[in-house]
């Protein structure tokens, strides 16, 4: 029997934090000891997330000082961090510094961008501000659970949601040297990818029944993805990415196009993807085009591929809040603790969202 691991969720009332809390509630080996929100300490979780009331009817948010006390008194606890970019690094560093001094040694999985880069200068060039804890970067690895065979660090940074959808398609093509290292990706994301705070681009009357691009060829996930690909494959790739806002709440559909180094059939490319992801419980390779409703609300990803001559297109679909953030983070935590990586994550998609 596994003793429940005391778990803290940072990030308060954000959508990803809510999804982390939902997954922790259904996990057999994780036990929530604190949900941290400096803006709403003392308020019930159910006030921010009414759908979580059955799991947390009376649990209240705590502030960072209480989180600091907990990590110094709970040996081997886990921290799932969904604090905002630019805030997460310093907060995690503060908690880990105190925990090290107390000898409690927690594990952290961070879903913000703060530990996705191995170089503080690279982070600053993308996010426009100095990194909050540059000396802590070497303590984190950044990759999808399916892509890093051996974890050499104590802590993990999970790639972003768009990055997840892209990497699932890009890395096998590059690793197997099936394509020239130049990619063109068009991706569509749901409104929850923009966070909980309402802005014009995610306001429902603006987004409903509409589709539009943003950040074409300049999205901040591009250098993140290029860096991960280079670290894992040793190959430098060019990535041309055009993201779009879709008229739905959850999910990402990404289409990757590239030039094959030799003509291949669609079946051959799908076979290569099937081989690459053999034994990975959350990646399914489909003969037909993947659909968002088959994965939204779950930790599953579906991919398919079509090839014609030297051209190939790989389509990937994920739930941005689950596989692209909270689910991937829990999957990493399963690996860190030596549990089956699918523990607590095997619920299928609802299907009719």
For tokens 């003969």, the residue is: 287
Give the closest residue to 167 by CA, choosing from 328, 23, 48: 328
Pair 58, 31: CB distance under 8 Å: no
Task: Tell me the three state secondary structure of residue 174.
Answer: helix
- The pair phi, psi for residue 209, each rounded to 5°, is 60, 30
The total of other beta-carbon atoms located within 10 Å of residue 350's CB is 10
> Nearest-CA neighbor of 112 among 82, 75, 70?
82
What CA–CA distances, in Å, run from 313 to 193, 201, 255, 284, 306?
24, 29, 7, 16, 5
Half-sphere exposure of 115 (CA within 13 A, CB side): 29
CA angle 182, 187, 190 (to 5 degrees): 160
Q: Is 289 helix (H, G, I), strand (E, B) or coil?
A: coil
Report the alpha-carbon distance of residue 171 to residue 30 in Å, rounded. Answer: 31
Phi, psi values for residue 350, rounded to 5°: -60, -35
Q: Which of 20, 161, 174, 273 is catalytic?
A: 161
Does 161 participate in catalysis according to the annotation?
yes
Place of tokens 């509630």: 25
What is the distance of C-alpha 242 from the center of its chain? 19
- H runs (alpha helix) in 12-119: 15-25, 45-48, 64-71, 88-102
Q: Which residues are catalytic?
A: 161
């Amino acid at each position: 029997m596994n003793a429940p691991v005391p778990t803290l969720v940072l990030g308060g009332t954000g959508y990803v934090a809510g999804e982390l809390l939902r997954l922790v509630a259904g996990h057999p080996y994780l036990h929530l000891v604190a949900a941290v929100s400096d803006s709403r300490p003392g308020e019930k979780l159910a006030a921010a997330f009414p759908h979580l009331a059955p799991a947390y009817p009376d649990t209240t948010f705590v502030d960072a000082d209480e989180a600091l006390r907990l990590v110094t008194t709970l040996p081997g606890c886990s921290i799932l961090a969904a604090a905002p970019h630019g805030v997460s690094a310093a907060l995690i560093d503060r908690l880990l510094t105190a925990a090290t001094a107390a000898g409690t040694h927690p594990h952290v999985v961070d879903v913000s961008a703060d530990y996705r880069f191995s170089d503080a200068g690279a982070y600053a060039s993308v996010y426009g501000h100095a990194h909050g804890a540059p000396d802590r970067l070497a303590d984190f690895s950044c990759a999808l659970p399916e892509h890093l065979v051996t974890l050499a660090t104590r802590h993990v940074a999970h790639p972003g949601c768009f990055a997840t959808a892209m990497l699932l398609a890009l890395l096998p093509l590059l690793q197997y040297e099936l394509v020239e290292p130049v990619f063109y990706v068009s991706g569509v994301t749901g409104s929850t990818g923009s966070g909980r705070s309402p802005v014009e681009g995610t306001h429902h009357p603006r987004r409903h029944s509409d589709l539009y691009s943003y950040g074409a060829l300049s999205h901040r996930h591009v250098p993140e993805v290029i860096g991960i690909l280079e670290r894992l494959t040793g190959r430098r790739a060019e990535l041309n990415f055009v993201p779009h806002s879709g008229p739905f709440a959850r999910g990402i559909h990404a289409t990757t196009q590239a030039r094959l180094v030799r003509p291949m059939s669609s079946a051959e490319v799908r076979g290569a993807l099937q081989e690459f992801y053999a034994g990975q419980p959350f990646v399914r390779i489909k003969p037909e085009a993947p659909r968002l409703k088959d994965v939204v609300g779950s930790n599953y990803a579906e991919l398919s591929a079509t090839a014609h001559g030297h051209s190939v297109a790989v389509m990937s679909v994920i739930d941005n809040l689950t596989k692209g953030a909270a689910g991937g983070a829990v999957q990493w935590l399963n690996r860190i603790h030596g549990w089956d990586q699918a523990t607590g994550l095997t619920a299928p998609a609802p299907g009719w969202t």
